[in-house]
Amino acid sequence: MASKRSILVLLAAATIAFLAGCGGGSTANVQNPPPPPPSNLSIAFQPEPGGTLAVSFTENLTAVVTNDAQNLGVDWSLTCPNPQNIPSLCGSLSALHTASGTATTFTAPSAFFANSMDVEIVAYAAANHNTNTVAPILITSFTSGLQAGNYVLQAQGVDSSLSPYQIAAAITLDGQGNVTGGEQTANYAATGSLSDKINPAGSNYFIGSDGRGSITLQTGDNKIGGNGVETFASVFLNNSNGGNPRALISQMDLGSAATGASATGTLSLQASAPTAPLGGYAFVVNGTDVANVNNPPVAFGGVLNIDSANTISGNGSVTDEILGKKVNATAVGVSGTLTAPDQFGVLTLNLTAPFGTAGKPVSLQFTGYIVDGSHIQLIETDAAAGAASPFGLTAGPAIGQGTATGTFTGNASFTGTYVFGIPGVDLSNSNLAPSTLTSAGLFTADGAGNLTNGFTDTFLDLNGTSETGAQISAPFTGTYSVDSSGTGRASLTSITFTPEPKHGYNPTLFFYLTGTGSENTPLVLEGGDTHYPSVGTGIAYPQSAAAPAFSGDYGLRFTQELEGSENDGTGQWNANSTTTPPSLSGAADVNISGANQDQPFTGTFAAPTAATPFPGTLLGTTNNTVSSAVFSPQITVDYYFIDASHGFFIETDLLTPGAQQNGQVSLGYYAERTPVCSGCP
């Protein structure tokens, strides 16, 4: 019995061993497989990506996975320093998964708030994300478009309370995207005139592939919007246009800036060694009369003759003031002193003029930012904190008369065809909002006191009402007189429109001459009349005698006013005269209820003409996922040809009662631009 039990035990053990080897009931005699060998999975870029890439440009990245038995391919990710947590600020990848050896396309962002930005693109083996490779790429801007040097920046618009606002600055650009120093003056209705140094830490600029970019200035003064930061959208024009602006700018709150200001202006390269001004300078300024309890709009202009070093004796100097609804401006004398310019070409002018109905002497102080021997940007600073008797908060340009100083002794001094643009304030209905007057036009001065072949589009917003008599689009003739004193002051003596506007329209216009022939770019001071009270300042350019042309790449700046809300912007467009009808397309950065960048738009225009404006349209469109907020709904415009390189455009919707008649008025300026690189738009 013992032997049988032993045999049974052995049989049971054998059965258990057999079942364990069968792996769940299989009848095959299968043994466990050997453990897998160590993984040789790997991934690498083929070829290695470039280390730098310019904004808006693209690069193809290809990763190859080896020893991927299941051919699962490549997963991609993209990261960058992004405090706003907006993925698009890093750029984009065309595909987040590809087969091994198949490229994904990286498109660099079109804008960022620094002079460069690091991004990381990671390629993962999809089979195991622990196997990956990283491509660091430095995104750069086209900073070489603006050569190193000092630049004068100026802009005018509104502050957060929709009161007039002005800024002027001299800033140093290093050619690599950094603002390394400077000084500035900003005029706010609430705080008066503020002057600050520019802090290099955090101050920078960049230019995108289409010429649009940004400028960031750190002032360290928390009275400026609460953060001490100012930001501007910009569009680069070119580096070979003499004393003309190198870029057009619009102030808008980008990133951490919180000024609440909206304004447009220019950025101009400063002469390498600005010298103290000498001779006659025509000037016009506009803004607010803070000496008056109601703070009415004020504009004045004239000629300052710096007849000896740092002195304006009063000989050959003259000024006209238009204050509120006072339209009968009378020339008065002006005298004063000025300081020597500092390292940034900044000086102080202390002036005295008998302004007001009583003709009592008024003390005026301006800070002047010298651009070159012919151009100064003025900003009034007698309303600085602690000033005993401030007069106003105004700003505007001064243009030198050079060797022509004192020679404008008769009507023959004013001859040629001119194109003008004038923004200002419609004073109807106690309105104080800036940019409610827009006026553009052209005329020929015959040198004998006659204005011929005139045409103007002049729109007074009337604070949003639809008084059709205030919308003037008509030919005109007139007469003018140049003062015999030689200062260069020319005044409108009569004007006749065809047809005559409702109630009649007899504006007050002064032209302050700056030279002879094509060098004579008068500054303009405008006042309305009893039925159409207004005040404004502008500039008149000599029109080219060449055949009218409108084709190619242009930068632009514009101001729109709608029911007390001002929208300022810059942008670029390409005008194509070969389509039917001729068309344009572009993108804008505009301050509409906050900063709105990359706003796409299109337009049409008729064949360019010189004797009259040529009409067209502008319309915001949708580009990819961006729905445009600018020029929406479509607006109608008139374009004014100065020459092939620049001109004005003005919104004309108010001419058609009931058709888009929303009370909006717009005035813009466009100038030829050079692409920032070969292959750039």
Q: DSSP string covering 263-290, please?
A: EEEEEEEPPSS-----EEEEEEEEEEET
Structural domain including 64 reads 42-140
Q: So what's the pLDDT on residue 469?
A: 66
pLDDT tens for residues 368-384?
999 999 999 999 999 98
Q: Note the pLDDT of residue 243.
A: 59
Residue 591: name the closest of 624, 561, 636, 625 by CA. 561
| Domain-located, residue 209 | no
Q: Is the Cβ–Cβ distance between 439 and 513 less than 8 Å? A: no
Residue 451: inside a domain: no
What integer pLDDT is reported at residue 239 of this predicted model? 77
Q: What is the pLDDT of residue 359?
A: 74
When divided into structural domains, the chain yields a total of 1
The model carries a pTM of 0.87
* Residue showing tokens 């632009």: 556
Asked whether the predicted pLDDT for residue 24 surpasses 60, the reply is: no
SS3 label, residue 426: strand
What does residue 618 show for φ and ψ, rounded to 5 degrees? Answer: -135, 135
* CA 10 from centre of chain: 97
Q: How confident is the model over 156-165, as a mean pLDDT? A: 93
Higher pLDDT, 394 or 295: 394
pLDDT band (50, 70, 90) for residue 33: low
Distance CA 321, CA 301 (A): 7
Other Cβ atoms closer than 10 A to 494: 12
**CB-CB contact of 310 with 339 (8 Å):** yes
| Separation of alpha carbons 356 and 289, rounded Å | 11
Angle at 292 between CA 287 and CA 296, to 5 degrees: 40
Cβ–Cβ under 8 Å, residues 122 and 341: no
DSSP summary character for residue 156: E
Let me know: does 377 contact 399? Beta carbons within 8 Å.
no
Nearest to 185 by CA among 351, 344, 423, 391: 344
Ramachandran class of 58: left when φ > 0, alpha when ψ lies in -120 to 50, beta otherwise: beta
pLDDT, tens digit, 9 for 90 and up, residues 417-467: 999 999 999 998 888 889 999 999 999 999 999 999 999 999 988 745 555
The mean pLDDT of the chain is 88
Window from 308-317, 321-330, 369-378 with minimum mean pLDDT: 321-330
pLDDT at 25 over 50: no
Q: Which of 105-114, 431-440, 484-493 has the highest mean pLDDT?
A: 484-493
For residue 513, pLDDT beyond 80: yes
The CATH number that applies at residue 68 is 2.60.40.1080
Q: Quick check: 537 pLDDT over 80?
A: yes
Q: Is the pLDDT of residue 330 over 60?
A: yes
- Domain membership flag for residue 134: yes
Q: What is the CA 582 to chain-centroid distance, rounded?
A: 25
- Cβ neighbours of residue 405 closer than 8 Å, sequence gap 6 or more: 279, 280, 305, 316
Q: Is residue 69 part of a domain?
A: yes
Residues 176-219 pLDDT 10s? 889 999 999 999 988 899 999 999 998 999 898 899 999 999 99
Give residue-wise pLDDT tens across range 492-505.
Answer: 999 999 999 988 89
User: pLDDT value at position 203?
Assistant: 94
